Amino acid sequence: MREVCPSEREVRPPKREVRPPKREVRPPKPEVCPPKREVCPPKREVCPPKREVCPSKPEVCPPKPEVCPSKREVRPPKPEVRPSKREVCPSKQEVCPPEAGGLSPQSPKNRDQVLAAAILQQCSRLNHQNLIPFGNCCFIHNRVYSNMLNYSERPYYSFSEYLKKKYPVKAYRVSLDAGFSCPNRQNRNSSGCLFCGEEGSRAPYLGNTDDIAEQIRRSVAFLKSRYKAKIFLLYFQAFSNTHAPVNELKAIYDFALAQASFAELIISTRPDCLSPEKVELIASYQSQGIDVSVELGLQTSHNATLELVKRGHSYEDFLKAYHWLDDARIPTTVHLIFGLPHESQRDMLSTVERVAQLKPHGIKIHNLHIVKNTALYEMYKSGEFQAFSWKEHLETLIAALEILPPETVIMRLTCDTLPAKLAAPLDFPPKARFLQILEQEMTQRNTWQGRLYHH
């Protein structure tokens, strides 16, 4: 037995020799772990570039393809989209202020205008009861947006807002009586249209002087003092200011324009006082850097009424003169009168519909004033017709504004006559109060200029 034991002891050592290999296998395991740890740091290094993407996109973006081309090339567009949205607002705000007459980007008006500009781009695809597209124009919440330029706080596009949009400072018209008469008057002391007084539409602040230079001097001084005006528009207002040969007209226009610095030349006249030669003369001032426009008296499109009030021209004469001006690209404002004898509201609105199809630059609507010592006054006293009341004028105006193009400038909505010379209507509210009532009524009815306009 003692001899066998040694042999057994000799076998046991091999068992001990096997164990070391097992221990030798374990070391490779820690050798595998370090590589894993080495892989982790790159992951941590990937995170910082994400934080650096915002401040400096161009510097971080190029190295990304070296580490993880497939993933990192897809991720950058996400952070790049956000800045692009933020950059849209400044670009719009830079465009809108000059178009909105100097509005600050922070003002509520300008925010509405930025919104309107964005909506206008999709106008053809939108349909909402408060968003109505008309070509390049839209209405949003009873506010007018025209060609992304016309923003109106009123339910119509007023002349004052047109001037604010066009000029950076206060601009006013300098009214002038250059001594012209009319074709249906033998002289300025004779009668013309039934409703026209002896002084025509001469501005009261001109006084009694007939000297053109003195009138301009007084007008400019008055407008500077009362309204702080900085820009002046020369306005030949009284009577028919093209009722003379072309050479005489040029001499008068040139002399008046030389008396002060004028940004515009505005000429009021009648259809039967225009010719292609006179239109060419008026248009020639555009080449001198002066904006020109013409105010053309129509009053009504019904020839029977035109004959009754002794206008001396027809609706066809008006169309011919209007197209001469339109072909010469001269902006034209049309004069109308509501309340002429024997005209119904339907008659007045049919005139507005015809004018709306012409898409004039502007429109002036007067309520009929019955001036003392006129032929119309005699008809009124004899009971041939009734004076147009302010409520009738209000209703007709609202209906007229609804069918006018939204981009047509509303130059005037009432008539002005010295109280001492006015026979009727006498219950008409003051001008400012009447316009306030008009705006309130249109707002309550949820209507605005152009709501029912059709191309």
| 271: CATH | 3.20.20.70
Averaged pLDDT for residues 196-207: 63
Does the N-terminal peptide bond of residue 425 adopt cis geometry, omega within 30 degrees of 0?
yes
Which two tokens mark 215?
A: 């009138």
- Tell me whether residue 176 is in a domain: yes
More confident residue, 412 or 55: 412
Cβ pair 419, 379 in contact under 8 A:
no
Q: With 70 as the cut, is the pLDDT of residue 62 above it? A: no
110 φ/ψ sector (left φ>0, alpha ψ -120 to 50, else beta): alpha
- Tell me whether residue 455 is in a domain: no
- Tell me whether residue 15 is in a domain: no
Count other Cβ atoms within 10 Å, centred on residue 21. Answer: 8
- Tell me whether residue 113 is in a domain: yes
**Does 283 lie in the same domain as 199?**
yes
What pLDDT does residue 183 have? Answer: 86
Q: With 50 as the cut, is the pLDDT of residue 407 above it? A: yes
Last-in-domain residue among 95, 123, 146? 146
Averaged pLDDT for residues 35-56: 46
Angstrom distance (rounded) from CA 356 to CA 349: 10
What pLDDT does residue 95 have? Answer: 34
Burial class (CB in 10 A: 0-12, 13-18, 19+), 158: buried
Burial class (CB in 10 A: 0-12, 13-18, 19+), 117: middle
What pLDDT does residue 305 have? Answer: 97
Q: With 60 as the cut, is the pLDDT of residue 127 above it? A: no
Angle between helices 390-403 and 431-444 (to 10 degrees): 50
**Does 391 lie in the same domain as 279?**
yes
How do residues 230-262 score in pLDDT, each as one tens digit? 999 999 999 899 999 999 999 999 999 999 999
Angstrom distance (rounded) from CA 67 to CA 349: 75
**Does 108 lie in the same domain as 161?**
no
What pLDDT does residue 297 have? Answer: 96
Range with the lowest mean pLDDT among 10-14, 92-96, 119-123, 149-153? 92-96
What pLDDT does residue 117 have? Answer: 53
How do residues 384-400 score in pLDDT, each as one tens digit? 999 999 999 999 999 99
**Does 105 lie in the same domain as 233?**
no
**Does 297 lie in the same domain as 191?**
yes
Last-in-domain residue among 104, 124, 146? 146
Angstrom distance (rounded) from CA 298 to CA 320: 12
Q: With 90 as the cut, is the pLDDT of residue 69 above it? A: no
Looking at residue 150, the DSSP 8-state letter turns out to be E
> Which of the four pLDDT bands, split at 50, 70 and 90, describes residue 362?
very high
What pLDDT does residue 265 have? Answer: 98
- Candidate ranges 47-61, 103-117, 370-384; pick with highest mean pLDDT: 370-384
Alpha-carbon distances of 19 from 13, 25, 28, 443, rounded to whole Å: 10, 10, 16, 99
More confident residue, 189 or 355: 355
> Which of the four pLDDT bands, split at 50, 70 and 90, describes residue 192?
confident
**Does 435 lie in the same domain as 318?**
yes
**Does 396 lie in the same domain as 285?**
yes
User: What pTM was computed for the model?
Assistant: 0.69
How do residues 296-343 score in pLDDT, each as one tens digit? 999 999 999 999 999 999 999 999 999 999 999 999 999 999 999 999
> Which of the four pLDDT bands, split at 50, 70 and 90, describes residue 12?
low
**Does 354 lie in the same domain as 408?**
yes
What pLDDT does residue 191 have? Answer: 64
Cβ pair 174, 233 in contact under 8 A:
yes
- Tell me whether residue 434 is in a domain: yes
- Candidate ranges 63-72, 174-183, 202-211; pick with highest mean pLDDT: 174-183
What pLDDT does residue 40 have? Answer: 45
Averaged pLDDT for residues 88-113: 39
Closest CA to 154 of 447, 455, 403, 364: 447
- Tell me whether residue 358 is in a domain: yes
Last-in-domain residue among 110, 127, 146? 146
Q: With 50 as the cut, is the pLDDT of residue 201 above it? A: yes
- Tell me whether residue 38 is in a domain: no
Averaged pLDDT for residues 64-71: 45
**Does 415 lie in the same domain as 439?**
yes
Count how many domains the chain has. 2
Angstrom distance (rounded) from CA 25 to CA 31: 11
**Does 215 lie in the same domain as 179?**
yes
- Tell me whether residue 374 is in a domain: yes
How far out from the chain centre does Cα 324 lie?
Answer: 26
Residue 125 structural domain:
86-146
What pLDDT does residue 197 have? Answer: 73
Could you tell me what percent of the chain has a pLDDT over 70? 63
Torsion of CA 223, 227, 233, 234, to 10 degrees: -20
Averaged pLDDT for residues 5-30: 50
Cβ pair 336, 364 in contact under 8 A:
yes
> Which of the four pLDDT bands, split at 50, 70 and 90, describes residue 148?
very low
More confident residue, 442 or 196: 442
Alpha-carbon distances of 266 from 269, 298, 362, rounded to whole Å: 10, 17, 12
Continuous segment of H or E residues that includes residue 269: strand 264-269
Average pLDDT, rounded, for the chain: 77
**Does 194 lie in the same domain as 304?**
yes
What pLDDT does residue 190 have? Answer: 56
What pLDDT does residue 193 have? Answer: 87
> Which of the four pLDDT bands, split at 50, 70 and 90, describes residue 195?
confident
**Does 265 lie in the same domain as 188?**
yes
